[in-house]
Amino acid sequence: MTLRRYLQLDVFADRPGAGNPLAVVLDTDGLDDAAMQAIARWSKRPETTFVFAPTVTGAGYRVRMFSPTREVPFAGHPSIGTAFAVLEAGMAGTQDGLVVQEGMTGLLPLRVEDDGGSRTIAVRTPRARVVDIAERTDPRLAAALAGLVPGALPPALMDGGRRWWAVQVADETSLRGARPDWAAIATLAAATQTMGVCAFARADAGRDYDLAVRAFVGADHPFEDAASGAANATLAAWLKHNDALPGHNGRYTASQGREVGFDARLQLRIDEDGEVWSGGRVCPIVRGTIDW
């Protein structure tokens, strides 16, 4: 048996229990695909990541990501949490405020900012594209969207490494009170080869965020995601496409997870080149080892 450094983190969180949970294994020598999948299944986190030495010049480290059931090519909160763990362990450093991650989708830079001792990490997400723009009455969508009060923008199928339907809801109260039809969302996800529905609404006045977001995952075992950096990044690209970004100067804050017992804050930024950066703070919960 081998002791391996192991962390559990809350991503997009300023306190324990607020963000999206992640497990990170820093010592991976001797782990094959089956062992990594077994650890991910055992950890029961939405994703577990495994850190390796980079194979490409310019990368600080290489990462592989696993849900409890399969390997995933890219996800936002595992990228941010892994960068936090790697930097904290001294396994990589920053250059000009960036650390570069090597993964299945290629090289992705993460920007690291320190504000009064509070570290924020944002990943430049894979560039998202509009695959389809649909009517709410589209037979593929009608059942899954039946409980969502329509907003101004039409539903759009976005592909940013993972595919999501971006669906605007009329107001925050309607969004937060919506009850998803999980069977319909699972059917939609399977029929369109997507994760499911990323529903959003403009925040009510006086909030400390600009957008409220709920991500209804229909793939595999349907659930509501506590905080999805990838879903929010594809949503940001759709809003940019429609010149409908909230916030100021290409920056805004999204609130996600309250309906499932979390309270995450995601910082989104669209830079001058049109690239989307998805980030936030990370709260470490467990630091230790596993004997595997």
Give the pair of three-digit tokens for residue 235: 């949503």
One DSSP character per residue, the chain reads --EEEEEEEEES-SSTTSSEEEEEE---TT--HHHHHHHHHHH-SS-EEEEE--SSTT-SEEEEEE-SSSEES--HHHHHHHHHHHHHHTS---BTTEEEEEETTEEEEEEEEEETTEEEEEEEPPPPEEEEE--TT-TTTTTTTTTS-B-SSPPEEEESSSEEEEEEBS-HHHHHH----HHHHHHHHHHHTS-EEEEEEEPPTT-SSSEEEEEEE-SSS-EEES--HHHHHHHHHHHHHTT---SBTTEEEEEE-GGGT--EEEEEEE-TTS-EEEEEEEEEEEEEEEE-
- Rounding to the nearest 10 degrees, give the CA dihedral for residues 139, 190, 241, 105: -170
* CA–CA dist 198, 273 (Å, integer): 24
Give the pair of three-digit tokens for residue 155: 């539903």
**172: annotated active-site residue:** no
Orientation of helix 76-89 relative to helix 229-241, angle to 10°: 120
Catalytic sites, residue numbers: 47
